[in-house]
Amino acid sequence: MNKHQHHTNNAVLGAPKSWDQAQLPCDALSITRTECDGIPAVVSYWKPSDNELAILAGGGLIALWVIGSTMPPVMLAVDAQ
């Protein structure tokens, strides 16, 4: 997936202060700070490549990876832009 600059983006996240870029690179990510049912939320937008779209159309799955040993509350959604 390729990160996508969305018209609602209003902030940028960088790698955590202690992040080891040599072990696993972490680029800046444009985000939208917003709310979901009154709860603060952060949204990033991603666009699948043509190859990924073909895999999804063939029944492939979307995998959400979170670095660490647990999973914070997350949500995946489709946005028409």
Ranges of each domain in the chain: 1-81
What is the distance between the alpha carbons of residues 40 and 31, in angstroms, rounded to a whole number?
13
Reported as a single tens digit per residue, the pLDDT across 35-48 is 999 999 999 999 99
**pLDDT score of 34:** 97
Reported as a single tens digit per residue, the pLDDT across 65-75 is 998 899 999 99
Answer whether 3's CB lies under 8 Å from 44's CB. Answer: yes
Report, as an integer, the average pLDDT of 11-38.
96
What is the distance between the alpha carbons of residues 6 and 81, in angstroms, rounded to a whole number?
8
Report, as an integer, the average pLDDT of 40-69.
96
How far from each other are the two terminal CA atoms of the chain, in whole angstroms? 16
Answer whether 34's CB lies under 8 Å from 41's CB. Answer: yes
Q: What is the pTM of this model?
A: 0.84
